[in-house]
Amino acid sequence: MKKNSSRKKKRKILIRLPSMGGGAIRSIFEYIKIFNKNNYEIVVVAEITEDPIVEEISLYAKNIYDIYPFRIARFQNIVRNFKTIIKSFSTTRKEEPNLIISVSDPIYALIGKFFNIPTIMLIAGGQARNDSRFIKKWNKNPVIVFSVENKKELLSLGYPSNKIHVVSQRIRVTPDDGYRQHYRELQNKKNTVILLITSRISEGKMNSICNLIDFAAYLSKKGERFQLRIAGDGDLKEHLYSYLKKYRNLHKHVVILGHVASIDLEFQKAHLVFGKARSVLEPAMKKRVGYVVNEDFQLCKINRKSYKNLYENNFSGRNSLYQTSFEQIYRDIKNLRAGKYDLSEIETNAKICKQDYDVSKLEKRIIDVINKSSHNNKKRKKNPSLILILLIMQCMNLYFLATYNYLARRVKRKTDEK
């Protein structure tokens, strides 16, 4: 006589992340906690870093595999990418997940197709790849995007509208109810105004950081008592030190913190916060005056007027309709010093950000998407050798497309120069 098992087998989700670092991983961590709460077994595939988030995720994930991301834009990594294909194939075959969630990695869209595993693609901010032939490799899987901007990009590339889910909720914060006293302390001229920017110090981020150094030089000329704190690490730190040397004695006002284990403590100290996406949204939700930075040397204050435009573009500063000058930010500082700043604006900003980004509203949204994507999971076995061959062939095709795009851009650039 067979025993009836009362324990239902857990469904397994394999989550493919590019690397264990940055703001995106902290957003996906909220997903992992929700999946765990809803009795899903979690397997994570990512490039492992020294970020403390790795240890936190290990408390929720059954297994974590250290696999380098597949990067078709970097031709010198072709051998490493080939190893990534083999490891990704082997890991999926070993774990046999019921669902794959891949953060923009086309390899896992292909793996999901060949293994007949439901797959959800996820764009964690940034911009979607601007070539419909790459997007076709996603096989019209459901896509979770963090912003309206991403949805518009996918629609322009011909992706089906009913497959795109805008899910912006991903931030967990405890608001600072003592924020009024924190700002009143600035009325004492001896107290220092703390400016904070949180950012990777790497390619694609430097213009916004250098712009803040320019602003620091502007404040220094005004005789303001302040400190600019730069939280973040990256391979262009020496370039940042070099840029700082442009201004004589400015190093007295600028502190390059490097990697910060507990960024929340920095948010607590700050009066004005600068950044993109999560790095500025989180402190704004904690009731700090916030400004979005972009790579076009522009700043935009978070308020009711700018919010809709910022929200649609994931607070990235792209496509900005509103700009805030150095003079306007300095005026905010002077009003804070004089006790004339309307502090209720800070609370209003925190509330409107919370409506769209607070993690408490995430669980129902994400579980609905998961259930719709995975309920038809009927695995049909295929020959593993055939799957690997097909996977390699598809990846070679991706390389061909990448090479074609690279050459096309070079030809266009030379034509434009003429």
Per-residue pLDDT tens over the stretch 349-363: 999 999 999 998 888
The span from the CA of 186 to the CA of 179, in Å, is: 12
Bridge partners, 227 (sequence order)? 194
Nearest to 261 by CA among 82, 50, 414: 50
Residue among 339, 346, 157 nearest 270 (CA):
346
Q: Which domains does the chain have, with CATH numbers?
A: 11-171+360-410 (3.40.50.2000), 179-357 (3.40.50.2000)
Instruction: Determine contact, residues 183/256, Cβ cutoff 8 Å.
Output: no
In degrees rounded to 5, what are phi and psi of residue 129?
-60, 135
As a whole number of angstroms, the distance between CA 127 and CA 37 comes to 31
What local confidence, expressed as pLDDT, does residue 3 receive?
Answer: 43
Would you state the structure tokens that stand for residue 60, as one six-digit string? 């929720």
All residues at 6 or more sequence positions from 193 whose CB lies less than 8 Å from its CB, including other chains? 186, 224, 225, 226, 227, 271, 272, 333, 336, 337
Tokens of 239: 């370039």
Q: Which long-range contacts (CB under 8 A, 24 or more apart) does 239-244 make?
A: 239/206, 240/201, 240/206, 240/209, 240/210, 240/213, 243/210, 243/213, 244/213
Between 76 and 95, where is the model more confident? 95
Which of these, 143, 173, 72, lies nearest to 405 by C-alpha position? 72
Q: What's the pLDDT score for residue 226? A: 97
Confidence of residue 5 (pLDDT cuts 50, 70, 90): very low
DSSP letter for each residue of 261-307: S-HHHHHHH-SEEEESTHHHHHHHHTT-EEEEE-TTS-EEE-SHHHH
Of the candidates 344, 338, 302, 339, the one whose C-alpha atom is nearest the C-alpha of residue 320 is 302
- Mean pLDDT taken over the chain: 86
* β partners of residue 110: none
Q: What is the pLDDT of residues 168-179, one digit of tens each?
A: 988 989 889 999
Check pLDDT > 80 for residue 386: no
SS3 state at 374? helix
d(CA 16, CA 64): 10
Backbone angles phi, psi at 326, to 5 degrees: -60, -40
Residues linked to residue 194 through DSSP beta bridges, in sequence order: 227
Are the beta carbons of 17 and 28 closer than 8 angstroms?
A: yes
- Neighbour-count burial for 355-378, b at 16+ CB within 10 Å, e otherwise: eebbbebbbebbeebbeebbeeee
User: Which residues, in sequence order, are CB contacts of 222 under 8 Å at separation 6+?
Assistant: 330
Report pLDDT digits (tens) over 125-163: 776 665 555 676 676 789 999 999 999 988 988 889 999
pLDDT in tens, 303-343: 999 999 999 999 999 999 999 999 999 999 999 999 999 99
Query: Which whole-number Å values give the CA distances from 408 to 33, 369, 395, in the listed order?
Result: 43, 38, 20
Closest CA to 120 of 55, 74, 167: 167
Half-sphere exposure of 222 (CA within 13 A, CB side): 16
Band of residue 108 on the pLDDT scale cut at 50, 70, 90:
confident
The structure tokens 């259930």 sit at 371
Between 105-114, 180-189, 206-215, 221-230, the lowest mean confidence (pLDDT) is in: 105-114
Q: Is the pLDDT of residue 167 over 60?
A: yes
Q: Answer yes or no: is pLDDT of 2 > 50.
A: no
**Torsion sign, CA atoms 203, 204, 208, 210:** positive
Q: What is the pLDDT of residue 380?
A: 47
Average pLDDT over residues 167-191: 92
Q: Which two tokens stand for residue 329?
A: 């930010």
